Amino acid sequence: MEFFLDTASIEDIKFYKPLGLVDGVTTNPALLSKEGGDPIAQIKKIAEIVKGPISVEVTYTEPREMVKHAIKLNKLAPNVVIKVPASIAGLTAAQELKKAGIRMNITLIFHPSQAVPFIQLEVDYVSLFVGRVEEFGLNNKEAIWQLRQSIDEMESPTKLLSASIRNPEYLLEAVIAGSDVLTVPPSCWQMVYKNPIFQLGERDFLKSWRTLPATARKEYESLD
Ligand code: E4P
């Protein structure tokens, strides 16, 4: 399993990278706009820090423009992967991009059926929007499982990427249901580790520990 960070923030990438949580990065137009400034410069900065795949999305909806834009974005860094929407226009563009050898991450998948032709095309990643699936009243556990079965049944090298991970529950579902990659936003990792029950437990243990006289704690706590 690989973990990508779902962000365009340099600060977040620098924080999470040493924790082993940045095998790659997924950006999208919304995440890039949140950072402000020049998105091209931002992608280049990310590519200086992260050697794994960096997903960058086309901002056109017409196939020919999508292809042109993808070719341009693909030149930004050797590890760029182009995000193409899971639409008919996206599928049309994907045929061309595949021939050109451009790596693709198919985005905005809400129902596994959207991914099937792209799996057949052997794109690199299909991104299921786990959080948004649930917001539309669909069952995301089932959707991840169905996507997993589809990829395996079609014997495709395409990787299942679970995206739109909003909370620790979605994160676990995405792991258990068989994702190859999870792209997790910093806000979700914060929720995982700012768990109040954990914090209470840690505080209680240390409070009890400090009831021992300092002399008794000395050897145990020595770092020499
Ligand atoms: C990932 O590649 C997506 O850009 C991301 O997970 C979108 O999630 P959202 O539903 O939080 O916008």
- Would you put residue 203 in left (φ > 0), alpha (ψ -120 to 50) or beta? alpha
Residue 63: the pLDDT is 98
Residue 73: the pLDDT is 98
C-beta separation of 106 from 126 below 8 A: yes
Per-residue pLDDT tens digits for 177-200: 999 999 999 999 999 999 899 999
Question: What count of residues does the chain have?
Answer: 224
Which atom of ligand 1 sits closest to the CA of residue 30?
12
Q: 83, 159, 207, 218: which one is catalytic?
A: 83
Take residue 53 and report the two structure tokens written for it: 């795949």
Per-residue pLDDT tens digits for 106-157: 999 999 999 999 999 999 999 999 998 888 888 888 999 999 999 999 999 9
Per-residue pLDDT tens digits for 35-71: 999 999 999 999 999 999 999 999 999 999 999 999 9
CATH for the stretch 2-195: 3.20.20.70
Residue 134 C-alpha to ligand 1 middle, in angstroms?
A: 13
The CA angle 173-176-177, to the nearest 5 degrees, is: 80
Distances (CA, A) of 185 to 16, 31, 63, 131: 10, 10, 29, 12
Residue 112 DSSP class: G
Residue with the smallest CA separation from ligand 1 atom 12 is: 164
Residue carrying the six token digits 């409070």: 207
The widest CA-to-CA distance across the chain, in whole angstroms, is 74
Residue with the smallest CA separation from ligand 1 atom 4 is: 28
User: For residue 26, which of 172, 178, 182 has the smallest C-alpha distance?
Assistant: 182
Q: What is the 3-state secondary structure (H, E, C) of 15-79?
A: HHHHHCCCCEEECCHHHHHHHCCCHHHHHHHHHHHCCCCEEEECCCCCHHHHHHHHHHHHCCCCC
Average pLDDT over the chain, rounded to an integer: 96
Which atom of ligand 1 sits closest to the CA of residue 161?
2
- The H or E element containing residue 137 is none
Q: Tell me how far apart the alpha carbons of residues 169 and 6 are, in angstroms, rounded to a whole number.
A: 17
Grade residue 11 by pLDDT with cuts at 50, 70 and 90. Answer: very high
Residue with the smallest CA separation from ligand 1 atom 7 is: 164
68 is catalytic: no
Residue 208: the pLDDT is 98
Which atom of ligand 1 sits closest to the CA of residue 31?
4
Residue 133: the pLDDT is 84
C-beta separation of 174 from 166 below 8 A: no
Residues enclosing ligand 1, CB less than 6 A? 6, 26, 28, 55, 107, 127, 129, 131-132, 163-164, 183
Residue 135: the pLDDT is 81
Residue 137: the pLDDT is 81
pTM equals 0.94
Residue 205 CB coordination number (10 Å): 10
Take residue 28 and report the two structure tokens written for it: 């999208």
Residue with the smallest CA separation from ligand 1 atom 11 is: 164
